[in-house]
């Protein structure tokens, strides 16, 4: 592998030194202007902790590092690669697929003109809102599901875009054992027909196919089901965007082709029920109105059996907590909060089909719900606006499990011959999983002093979401107040106080942050979350989950160091989460671009 | 297993990459961005039409980003009339939160240009891992980059814009 890296590096350096036509003296400047290098390294030294226990894994010092180099070869050609290092092991709770110490994670060669955009190698892509296909990278989560193959984007006119792709999905440093085909067309009708009345009128259509062999299980004592499991799973999508004056609407529908259902009766084993096939679908509709000083937007979404993996074997969520080999993007549509206590009771989208209990089957086949946002700017000089105006935002969301009824003709539970099927209702919001209402007020008191007040009231169906049991709700409210005072020359101080109140689960928490910037480059912070009330859930009781650290920023370089104790739970970025265990240690983050 | 050995490897990688410290990207990435009404555009196209622009990557869920944009919004009229600079706030919100962009910018009364980078193509091309990330582009070339936001950074940014204008 090291030889491979050296070859690639030499290749790029030689391209770099040959691609210029001007005299020798400017060669260096030429390369300098055309190259982009970025380096990121996140490392942690895990420590034993008298409160939360010893760190029991062998490797205590871990790092995930990325070196990405992009080079503009000529006006039309560009190329790049990313070296990833997980020496000696990736950060704790990362995907087990990154088992190699160092290697080329992705590489590409791109050709781009005004009408044509061709990529060979690894590429990232999203069709529509990503419900049918999305490949992306998130280093904080350890997600990189780029496709490796070829992507061609062709714009024959300024109102039509055609995208065709073929690839295999990235699987650690390897690729998936399947083929992915995709096609999308984006048609800008308003532009094509020169419609003056509409700001926007667009139609998109897409197809995604996954070809993967299905290995039939050899069942003993049961007659083999006669059903053929499709090798090619076809999905189709369509979306329509409309904008008229201050109103807008985006509608999207996805149909996912039939496939076998995961049979997860034994958590660590992956097997499939081969006697019944299930298709999936997704509907999302977003409407809104906005003008200066006021905006309102609402999103409805219904997902049924929408998990889509490039290898079926990865559909067992228990074995695959990091959602490796996921082909589409199914985030929770609740508001994403930045504060620690607001991230304890987190709703995660429930898009998949699973039979939870087999005695009297409890079927999770998807979710349905709604989210509403209102933004309002109270004008300067009014009673509530004050001298500088006041910014309000309100968010409400409600999510429920799809209501379904099952039939099980043969009565054979959980073997390959299981022919259990289910029916769902289209619009039934009865089985509540989560609801939340939150209000944020941003207020500038003086040119130097600003505050943000946040109130969150949530209902979290812990029983249903975290275990196989019946409904049991955590009802909690969280209040957060933060203020920043700005001194001269970039010096500032920020204080943030949080409180979570509930009589359920682990009961009350208190938290806070104090942050001080000596100038715009260098700052220190201290924060803490503390579950101070006695309850039946003692896991976190009376333990200070504190963090103490600092950061130094200069231009595009940032170095951060942190010492602290992390609460176990979900680490979520952009709606995708990975579970992290409780840990204590010193973290060093370094990122720079040249 | 062997911390010393591993440290060596990490240091090697760092030293290797420090070779590049003399390099600095000035050329604009070619990646495709979307306008709020869904049309495709690129930074090069925008830079071709505007002599001096500021591009700031942000997200609806990022508190420091919103602080930066709120702070700039307060003084934006002055910036434009004094220097003619144009400010482009590129949202890296993915489909989870992208639908909040439109009502939010209007609700907040932000008057700069908004672009969408829903699958983080521009963010990747810039080699950025956290937002906010702010660059100044003059005559189609990147002349300044900054990561993060702290209270008062907008004044520093404005000083640089003024210096570049002259």
> What are A41-54's pLDDT values in tens digits?
999 999 999 888 88
Q: Are the Cβ atoms of A126 and B14 closer than 8 angstroms?
A: no
So what's the ipTM on this one?
Answer: 0.86
Task: Give the model's pLDDT for residue A21.
Answer: 42
- Which tokens hold the place of A86? 């997980």
Residue A84 backbone dihedrals phi, psi, to 5 degrees: -120, 135
Q: Are A513 and A527 in contact (CB under 8 A)?
A: yes
Winning range, highest mean pLDDT, from A58-67, A72-81, A200-209, B15-24: A200-209
Q: What is the pTM of this model?
A: 0.89
pLDDT band at A19 (very low <50, low <70, confident <90, very high): very low
Per-residue pLDDT reduced to its tens digit, B70-107:
999 989 999 999 999 999 999 999 888 888 999 999 88
List the domain boundaries for chain A.
1-107+556-563+589-594, 113-330, 335-401+427-542
Option in A102, A110, A594 nearest B21 (CB)? A594
pLDDT band at A8 (very low <50, low <70, confident <90, very high): low
Which element (helix H / strand E) includes A553?
strand A544-554
- Overall average pLDDT of the A146-151 stretch: 97
Instruction: Give the separation between CA A95 and CA A321, rounded to whole angstroms.
Output: 8
* Residue B139 sits at the chain A interface (C-beta within 8 Å): no
Q: Are A509 and A541 in contact (CB under 8 A)?
A: no
Residue B35 has pLDDT above 60, yes or no: yes
Q: Are the Cβ atoms of A124 and B20 closer than 8 angstroms?
A: no
Instruction: Please identify which residue in the block is written with the tokens 């962009």.
Output: B101
Q: Are A369 and A400 in contact (CB under 8 A)?
A: yes
* Residue A200 sits at the chain B interface (C-beta within 8 Å): yes
* Burial per residue of A33-52, b for 16 or more beta-carbon CB atoms within 10 angstroms, e otherwise: bbbbbbbbbbbbbbeeeeeb
Instruction: Please identify which residue in the block is written with the tokens 């979350």.
Output: A529
- Which tokens hold the place of A494? 């920020």
Residue A575 has pLDDT above 60, yes or no: no
Residue A514 has pLDDT above 90, yes or no: yes
Q: Which residues, other chains included, contact B102 with Cβ-Cβ below 8 Å and sequence gap of 6+?
A: A248, A288, A290, A295, A297, B36
Instruction: Please identify which residue in the block is written with the tokens 């001096």.
Output: B52
Q: Which of B41, B70, B94, B114 to mutate against chain A (most A CBs within 10 Å)? A: B94
- Overall average pLDDT of the B119-139 stretch: 91
Which element (helix H / strand E) includes B81?
helix B63-83
- Which tokens hold the place of B67? 């602080």
A56, with CB counted inside 10 A (0-12, 13-18, 19+), is exposed
In Å, how far are A52, A324, A450, A544, B133 from A143, measured between CA atoms?
28, 7, 36, 30, 21
Option in A33, A87, A492 nearest B152 (CB)? A492
- Which tokens hold the place of B100? 């909040």
- Overall average pLDDT of the B43-69 stretch: 92
Q: Higher-confidence residue: A313 or A265? A: A313
Which element (helix H / strand E) includes B143?
strand B141-147
Residue A17 has pLDDT above 70, yes or no: no
* Residue A68 sits at the chain B interface (C-beta within 8 Å): yes
Q: Are A312 and A291 in contact (CB under 8 A)?
A: no
- Closest by CA to A33, choosing from B31, B56, B130, B29, is B29
* Residue B4 sits at the chain A interface (C-beta within 8 Å): no
Q: Which residues, other chains included, contact B75 with Cβ-Cβ below 8 Å and sequence gap of 6+?
A: B154, B158
Task: Give the model's pLDDT for residue B1.
Answer: 45
Instruction: Give the separation between CA A583 and CA A225, rounded to whole angstroms.
Output: 47
Top-level class of domain B27-165: alpha beta
Instruction: Give the separation between CA A80 and CA A85, rounded to whole angstroms.
Output: 17
Residue A178 has pLDDT above 60, yes or no: yes
Residue A573 has pLDDT above 70, yes or no: no
The A residues from 468 to 507 touching B (CB cutoff 8 Å) are: 484, 486, 489-492, 494
List the domain boundaries for chain B.
27-165
Option in B119, B144, B151 nearest A486 (CB)? B151
Option in B24, B100, B126 nearest A32 (CB)? B24
- Overall average pLDDT of the A50-79 stretch: 89
| SS3 category, A506 | coil
């Amino acid at each position: 592998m090291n030889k491979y890296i050296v070859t690639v590096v030499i290749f790029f350096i030689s391209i770099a030194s040959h691609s210029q036509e001007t005299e020798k003296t400017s060669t260096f400047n030429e390369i300098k202007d055309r190259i982009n290098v970025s380096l990121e390294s996140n490392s942690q030294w895990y420590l034993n902790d008298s409160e939360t226990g010893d760190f029991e894994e062998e490797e205590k010092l871990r790092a995930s590092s990325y070196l990405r180099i992009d080079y503009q070869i000529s006006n039309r050609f560009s190329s790049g690669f990313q070296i990833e290092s997980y020496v000696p092991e990736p950060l704790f709770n990362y995907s087990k697929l990154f088992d190699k110490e160092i290697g080329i994670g992705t590489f590409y060669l791109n050709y781009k003109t005004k009408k044509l955009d061709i990529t060979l190698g690894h590429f990232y892509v999203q069709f529509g809102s990503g419900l049918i296909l999305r490949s992306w990278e998130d280093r904080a989560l350890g997600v990189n599901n780029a496709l490796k193959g070829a992507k061609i984007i062709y714009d024959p006119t300024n109102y039509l875009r055609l995208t065709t792709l073929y690839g295999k999905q990235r699987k650690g440093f390897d690729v998936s054992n399947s083929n992915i085909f995709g096609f999308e067309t984006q048609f800008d009708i308003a532009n094509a027909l020169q419609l003056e009345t509409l700001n926007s009128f667009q139609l998109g259509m897409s197809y995604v196919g996954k070809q993967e062999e299905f290995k039939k299980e050899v069942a003993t004592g049961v007659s083999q089901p006669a059903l053929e499991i499709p090798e090619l799973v076809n999905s189709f999508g369509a979306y329509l965007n409309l904008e008229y004056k201050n109103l807008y609407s985006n509608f999207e529908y996805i149909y996912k082709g039939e496939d076998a259902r995961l049979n997860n009766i034994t958590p660590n084993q992956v097997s499939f029920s081969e006697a019944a096939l299930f298709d999936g679908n997704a509907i999302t509709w977003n409407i809104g109105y906005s003008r200066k000083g006021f905006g309102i937007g609402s999103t409805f979404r219904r997902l049924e059996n929408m998990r889509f993996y490039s290898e079926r074997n990865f559909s067992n969520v228990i074995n695959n907590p990091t959602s490796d080999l996921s082909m589409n993007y199914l985030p929770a549509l609740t508001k994403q909060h930045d504060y620690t206590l607001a991230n304890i009771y987190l709703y995660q989208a429930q898009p998949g089909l699973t039979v939870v209990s087999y005695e009297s089957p409890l079927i999770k086949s998807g979710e349905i719900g709604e989210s509403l946002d209102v933004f309002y700017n109270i004008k300067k000089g009014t009673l509530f606006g004050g001298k500088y105006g006041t910014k309000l935002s309100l968010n409400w969301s409600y999510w429920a499990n799809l209501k379904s009824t099952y039939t099980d003709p043969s009565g054979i539970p959980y073997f390959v011959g299981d022919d259990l099927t289910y029916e769902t209702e289209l619009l039934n919001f009865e089985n509540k999983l989560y609801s939340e209402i939150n209000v944020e007020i941003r207020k500038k008191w003086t040119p130097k002093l600003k505050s943000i007040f946040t109130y969150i009231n949530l209902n979290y169906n812990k029983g249903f979401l975290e275990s196989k049991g019946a409904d049991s709700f955590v009802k909690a409210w969280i209040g957060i107040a933060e203020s920043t005072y700005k001194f001269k020359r970039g010096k500032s101080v920020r204080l943030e106080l949080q409180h979570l109140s509930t009589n359920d689960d682990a009961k009350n928490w208190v938290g806070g942050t104090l942050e001080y910037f000596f100038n715009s480059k260098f700052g220190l912070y201290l924060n803490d979350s503390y579950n101070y009330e006695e309850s039946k859930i003692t896991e976190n009781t009376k333990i200070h989950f504190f963090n103490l650290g600092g950061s130094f920023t200069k231009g595009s370089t940032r170095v951060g160091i942190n010492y602290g104790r992390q609460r176990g739970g979900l680490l979520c970025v952009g709606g995708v989460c990975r579970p992290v265990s409780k840990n204590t240690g010193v973290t060093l983050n370094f990122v720079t671009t040249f | 297993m062997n911390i010393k050995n591993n440290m060596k490897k990490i240091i090697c990688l760092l030293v290797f990459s420090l070779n590049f410290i003399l390099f600095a990207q000035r050329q604009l990435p070619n990646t495709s961005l979307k306008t709020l009404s869904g049309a495709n555009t690129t930074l090069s196209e925008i830079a071709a039409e505007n002599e001096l622009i500021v591009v700031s990557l942000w997200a609806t869920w990022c508190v420091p980003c919103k602080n930066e944009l709120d702070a700039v919004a307060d003084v934006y009229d002055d910036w434009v009339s004094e220097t003619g600079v144009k400010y482009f706030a590129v949202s890296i919100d993915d489909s989870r939160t992208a639908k909040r962009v439109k009502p939010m910018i209007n609700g907040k009364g932000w008057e700069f240009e908004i672009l969408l980078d829903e699958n983080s193509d521009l963010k990747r091309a810039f080699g950025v891992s956290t937002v906010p990330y702010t660059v100044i582009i003059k005559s189609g070339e990147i002349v300044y980059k900054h990561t993060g936001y702290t209270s008062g950074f907008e004044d520093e940014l404005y000083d640089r814009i003024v210096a570049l204008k002259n």
